[in-house]
Amino acid sequence: MDGDGGVVAEGSGVGRLVLPSLLVSRFTIGIPPLLVSLLLIEIGETFGQSVGAAGQILTVSSVVAFVGALIMGFLSMRFNHKHLLLIGSALLALTAIGCAVSPAFSLMMAFYALIGLGSAIATPMIFSILGELYPISRRASVTGIVMSGASLAFLIGAPVITYIMGFGSWRTAFLAFVFPVAALGTVLSYLGLPSIHPGEEASA
């Protein structure tokens, strides 16, 4: 741990993976809502739903994310932050598969609601881990880099989704884009982040 309160060992392989782990995790969170917003008409047509009805997917997910965020205030004080981030990231990956193979609109809505839950779990953990690992002198710049993941989701995500739609469907986009990125974020977080327990120093 350094004098400013950070614990990242930048000289180690693990230390070098911390920032990419958090950046990819933040990037992943922005992809599913972008995909659904861009392809809402196609999703509705698949299940025989109007655009208004299909839009309930986003509404239900937002409600679940709100409730999940409230619960995270309790969980983050009691459980390992790395493990919580891994749960959130893995949930995003698994539910991306669920959305892609959903045979009915109700199942699609349920799986996408779990994406909202995964986002609610992962988002606060990203910034909690960031604050615990990086010294105050670097925290602002690192936060900016991690936050850029949200912008990159739009800058990179939109053309990638458009390209995938050229040869596939919205289901293909979930499988070929959302799932691999979420899986990558999960693996990077598992390999690159030290375990962080509430009230304890991280072990880099």
Sequence spans of domains, the chain: 33-192
Higher pLDDT, 197 or 194: 194
Average pLDDT, the chain: 89
Of 1-10, 49-58, 81-90, the least confident: 1-10
CB atoms within 10 A of CB 168: 14
Asked whether the beta carbons of 129 and 85 are under 8 A apart, the reply is yes
pLDDT at 203 over 80: no
Which residues contact residue 144 at a Cβ distance below 8 angstroms, ignoring those fewer than 6 apart? Answer: none
How confident is the model at residue 73, as a pLDDT?
84
Helices and strands: H and E segment counts in the chain: 9, 0
- Residue 195 pLDDT grade (very low, low, confident, very high; cuts 50, 70, 90): confident
Asked whether the beta carbons of 64 and 32 are under 8 A apart, the reply is no
Task: Please tell me the pTM assigned to this model.
Answer: 0.86
- Residue 74 pLDDT grade (very low, low, confident, very high; cuts 50, 70, 90): confident
Higher pLDDT, 200 or 119: 119
Burial of 13 (0-12, 13-18, 19+ CB in 10 A): exposed
Angle at 27 between CA 25 and CA 30, to 5 degrees: 115
Please state at what angle helix 136-165 crosses helix 105-133, rounded to 10 degrees. Answer: 150
How confident is the model at residue 42, as a pLDDT?
95
Of 25-29, 68-72, 90-94, 108-112, the least confident: 68-72
Does the domain made of 33-192 have the CATH classification 3.30.2350.10? Answer: no
- Average pLDDT of the segment spanning 156-176: 96
Query: What amino acid is encoded at 182 in this protein?
Result: A
pLDDT in tens, 11-39: 444 478 899 999 999 999 999 999 999 99
Q: Which two tokens stand for residue 6?
A: 């950070």
How confident is the model at residue 198, as a pLDDT?
62
How confident is the model at residue 16, as a pLDDT?
84
- Residue 163 pLDDT grade (very low, low, confident, very high; cuts 50, 70, 90): very high
